[in-house]
Structure 1
Amino acid sequence: MGKWSAFPHPGEFDLDAAEVRRQWAVLHAGDAEPLPTDEGVLQAWTHYHRGEFQKAVEVGLQAGGAGVTAANKATCIYATYLEKKEKAKLDLFLEAAQRAQAQALREPHNATAWYLHGYALGRYSQGISVARALAQGLGGTVKESLERAMKLRPRLADAHIALGAFHAEVIDKVGALIGGMTYGAKKETGLKLFQEALRLNPHSAIALIEYANGLVMLEGESRLADATALYEQAAAIRPVDATERLNVALAQAELQE
């Protein structure tokens, strides 16, 4: 593992393990991940919330068990927002997907493992183009893993977001007819998933952003004003950790374009 790019807002989230433990319910409103009992795992999550993503991976993998979850999430967030080289980004998504799949097979009731498998493969699919990913058969795998995560943990808001994005991306790329018949993608399902994610986690910047994107993909330019309003809500959120800071910055940058 080469040296990763640093979080661009150092010191903004100077949390220690005790603070992460106290704020756990807020910090993990999106994934409803259980509070770890292992101190090594908690330390991995502390690095994650501070924006020390590479350290989170190192400490998480060393801790093992639930630490792998922290490592996989840190890998995905780093690849999504901070890795500049496209090949390196795709390699990181595949790496996280493979680790998450192995974890899910070892622990079939681990909802976050299934979610991160679907999320990482979904991001990889966006990177190589959704159409190409569908042709390779990745769409069904993404959908199955995310649906399994939601079934295991119905309050996993982030899985609702990712699955809503799946429905939106497929319909946007191949159309409603083929998307529905071939991949089980439906406009109504996608919209309901975004809405449920926001019900579960109403202060989520990424839920607002993805819902905005999904509205335009699923219903067209007539929803641009609504999408802009959602971006404005996301841009105004006060972030609780490094990942949300990156999400808010994304919304702010999109509004400036």
Structure 2
Amino acid sequence: MHLWTPFPYPGAYRFDTASLPDHWARLHRGDAEPLPTEPDVLQAWALFHNGDFQQANEAGLALGAAGTTVANKATCIYANYLEPREEARLLLLKTAASRAEAQQQQAPALAGAWYWQAYALGRYSQGISVAKALAQGLGVRVKTALETTLQLAPHHADGHLALATFHAEVIDKVGSLIGSMTYGARKDTGLALYQQAMALNPDAPTTLGEYANGLLMLEGESAAPQALSLQERCAAFEPLDAMERLYVEAARQALQT
């Protein structure tokens, strides 16, 4: 395995197994991940929240089934925000998706296994183009995995957000008619899912930023003022961990350009 690009703000976050539980509910309001009871698993999560993504991935994989979710999240977030080589980025996402699918076989009631498969395949689809991904049948797999996530964990805010984005991106790429008839994508469903994500996790930068992007895809220029307001709130957010820092920095850069 090649060395991953380091987190660009080293030392900014210093969670450990003693301090992380105090912040767990706030940090995992989006993905509904339960607080681990095993110290080694909690340590792997501390590495993730500090931005030590490669170490978190390796620690998670070394723990077997108990560490698969943290390994997959570390891989997905790293691939999405920090891996500079497109081929390597897509390979990492495919690897995480495959691990999550295998995890589903062992623990079919684990919402995280379905969510991280969907996240990895969704980001992979964006990398190869949504239209090409739909033609390959990836859209159906993403939608099914996200719907399963929400069946298992109705309070999974990021699941609502991701499924809303599925509806928005399909409609944006192929139009409302084909999107509805072929992929089951609907504008009203997408907007309702974004609203549900906002109700569950209203102050998270990911919720604000993804809702802004989704509004533009679903409503067009008429939603520009509301989308800009959401993006500005996202950019003004004070990150609590490495993942939030990467998202907020990306939002700030997008506003500047």
2:69 maps to 1:78: no
Q: Distance in 2 between matches of 1:72 and 1:101?
A: 11
2:116 maps to 1:116: yes
Runs of 4+ in 1 over 2 A off after TM superposition: none
- Out of 58-67 and 76-85, give the one that drifted further: 58-67
Q: Distance in 2 between matches of 1:192 and 1:88?
A: 35
Q: Distance in 1 between matches of 2:18 and 2:191?
A: 38
Matches within 5 A, 1:92-171: 92-171=92-171
Cα distance, 1:236 vs structure 2: 1.1
2:225 maps to 1:225: yes
Q: State the partner residue of 2:33.
A: 33
Structure 1 residues 174-225: Cα deviation after superposition (integer angstroms, max 9, x where no partner): 0000000000000111111111111111111011111111111111112111
Q: State the partner residue of 2:57.
A: 57
Aligned length: 257
Structure 1 residues 106-130: Cα deviation after superposition (integer angstroms, max 9, x where no partner): 1000001100011100110000000
TM-score by length of 2: 0.98
2:205 maps to 1:205: yes
Q: Distance in 2 between matches of 1:132 and 1:195?
A: 29
Question: Residue 209 of structure 1 aligns to which amino acid in structure 2?
Answer: G
2:233 maps to 1:245: no
Q: State the partner residue of 1:45.
A: 45
Say which SS state the counterpart of residue 18 (structure 2) adopts.
helix
Q: Distance in 2 between matches of 1:207 and 1:178?
A: 27
Q: Distance in 2 between matches of 1:64 and 1:204?
A: 30
Cα distance, 1:134 vs structure 2: 0.4
Q: Distance in 2 between matches of 1:250 and 1:161?
A: 18
Say which SS state the counterpart of residue 18 (structure 1) adopts.
coil
2:191 maps to 1:191: yes
What 5-or-longer segments of structure 2 have no aligned partner?
Answer: none
Structure 1 residues 55-76: Cα deviation after superposition (integer angstroms, max 9, x where no partner): 0000000012231100000000
Q: State the partner residue of 1:2.
A: 2
Say which SS state the counterpart of residue 19 (structure 2) adopts.
helix
TM-score by length of 1: 0.98
Q: Distance in 1 between matches of 2:205 and 2:21?
A: 22
Q: State the partner residue of 1:15.
A: 15
Aligned-residue identity in percent? 59
Q: State the partner residue of 1:180.
A: 180
Structure 1 residues 28-84: Cα deviation after superposition (integer angstroms, max 9, x where no partner): 111111111111111110000000000000000001223110000000000000011
Say which SS state the counterpart of residue 65 (structure 1) adopts.
helix
